[in-house]
Amino acid sequence: MLTRQQSCVERPVALQHGSNAGRKLPYTASRAGKRALVVRASVTVPTIPIPGADEVLSCPDIRPRLVARPSPFVAHNNFGGGFVSDMDRVALTAMRFGSPKSAGAAQFFSAPELEGGNGDGQHINWMEASLEQLTTPLPPWAVRAGARETIFHDPRHTTAAIVTCGGLCPGLNDVVAGLVNKLTDYGVPEGNILGIRYGFKGFYDKEHKPQVLTKRSVDGIQLQGGTILGTSRGGANIKGGANIKEIVKRVDMWGVDMLFVVGGNGGNAGANAIQQMCEENDVLCNVIGVPKSIDNDILLIDKCFGFDTAVEEAQRALLAAKVEASSARCGIGLVKLMGRQSGFIAVQASMASGVVDAVLIPEVHFQLTGEKGLFKYLQGVLEAKGHCVVCVAEGAGQDLLENDSLHNGTDASGNPILADIGTFLKKELKGAFKEADIKYIDPSYIIRSIPTTSNDRIYCKILAHNAVHAAFAGYTGITVGLVNTHYVYLPIPVIIQAARKVDPRGKMWNRLRASIGQPNFY
């Protein structure tokens, strides 16, 4: 049986809070940073030393159990572009704040007896407030993604499996096609790439057997929305969710050498659970995640694939609301967009469209009435130009609907079930503005079921290729993403600590408010 020390040559750092408490993240420490990085989960959380300047957020691997060999791309120097080194690094934070008063800055953690303190024995590290959801301090660097000159699987004898999990998102088919094409480029034979049907449960569903994927079978699928594999909800840690033991059993039985999981926080949590059980049962399989989220709520990653496409489609609803509102006497256009815990779609679509007067997101509290309330502000807008447009994310204002009968419980992926803020606002607006002509637009699933835009299509392909490179490089339990405009590999436990959210103190929200002149509604 493999132990974590055998499969990960790096020293571990234990997560301390949330659902991942006790799980360990690997760090590679520099010679200059010989500090105690192992922190044990307990009621009293000790001060965490600041990572050294050369430390890297290392990725677990199973290389010691595999055989190294030259990449098949060595013959042409990877199509003339060369190879990535394991020593290449990408900065995890792009900015060094000089003051706690700088826009978007927050105190993340402190440590005693370190140089550069504030005079009382405490060292203060200022970083982006949007990263406050992280439960451990990050080292400065991440491992760069890309093709390695040395690989750890013989492509001629490699079996791969691909599974898509959770809700739909533009680009799922693009990623599937990208994975199949790059696996084939490496030399994985036809018949050795399996597509798992309808999410994790497809591993052991007697009605839906895995389908063989080839270059021919995925040709052109990027031109259609959805996923040819099908998908379903049901996380690894949710009652009635995926049976991880059965999945690992099938992985072992079918001889799957690498598993690619395309999913959001739940899907990546499932991938992490599969990787851990593979270790515990001595099953050699590289488990690689490709992060997917229509809400763009994956920690650290610049953006998730499909997000730009969703924003582009969401704009259509906002522009329609503008036309409806401006064509009526005292017209109000109300648009509800997706955004369960994070308001990125609402913020970006509103900023891009230039037609929205008020934006409501889950991260920012608001009140409807009173001198600082939403309705008082909208009254001024109506008096000034005769109409207005309001954009609301589906997870906004849930505190106003606490008595709603639907406002409780969680769905199959563990997400909170939301009350309908859209219909609630429409009713309240009608009561507050008796003469108003209110048009309510809810594009709902339309924005996630369409084919990708060109930028997203390219992004999906690069993510898929880098996922395949990671598997052949021997990495496991990692996900691939864009961080500070560079592609990196990240240990899955880092990105599933919490949902990424819009920072109310950050530049994105500030730019939007400054652009449309929106005050605080509280």
Active site residues: 295
Return contacts of 61-65, CB within 8 angstroms, 24+ apart: 61/7, 61/8, 61/9, 61/473, 61/474, 61/475, 61/476, 62/2, 62/7, 62/152, 62/284, 62/286, 62/474, 62/476, 63/152, 63/474, 64/6, 64/7, 64/9, 65/2, 65/6, 65/7, 65/284
User: Do the beta carbons of residue 268 and residue 291 sit within 8 Å?
Assistant: yes
Cα-Cα end-to-end distance for the chain: 57
CA distances from 142 to 6, 13, 486, 498 (A): 21, 15, 10, 19
DSSP per-residue codes, 398-437: GGGGTT-TTSSSB-TTSPBPPP-HHHHHHHHHHHH-TT-E
CB neighbours of 185 closer than 8 A, spacing ≥ 6? none
Residue that has been written with the tokens 């436990």 in this structure: 493
Structure tokens at 28: 């590679």
Distance CA 147, CA 130 (A): 31
Alpha-helical segments (H) within 205-361: 244-254, 265-280, 307-326, 344-353
Contact between 200 and 234 (Cβ < 8 Å): yes
> Using an 8 Å Cβ cutoff, are 72 and 187 in contact?
yes
Tokens of residue 409, six digits: 């419980």
Rg (CA), the chain: 24
CB count in 10 Å sphere of residue 257: 23
Q: Do 414 and 136 meet the contact criterion of CB atoms below 8 Å apart?
A: no
Question: Per residue in 207-239, is it b (16+ CB within 10 Å) or e — as a string?
Answer: eeebeebeeebbeebbeebbbbbbbbbbbbebe
Which residue do the tokens 């430390």 mark? Answer: 55
Indicate the helix (H) or strand (E) that contains 57.
Answer: strand 56-57
- Angle, helix 344-353 to helix 507-516, in steps of 10 degrees: 40
The region that residue 202 occupies, defined by phi over 0 for left and psi between -120 and 50 for alpha, beta otherwise, is alpha
Tokens of 431: 């009561």
Q: What are phi and psi of 327, to 5 degrees?
A: -90, -5
What distance in Å separates the CA atoms of residue 97 and residue 102, rounded to the nearest whole number? 7
* CA angle 21–5–20, rounded 5-degree value: 10
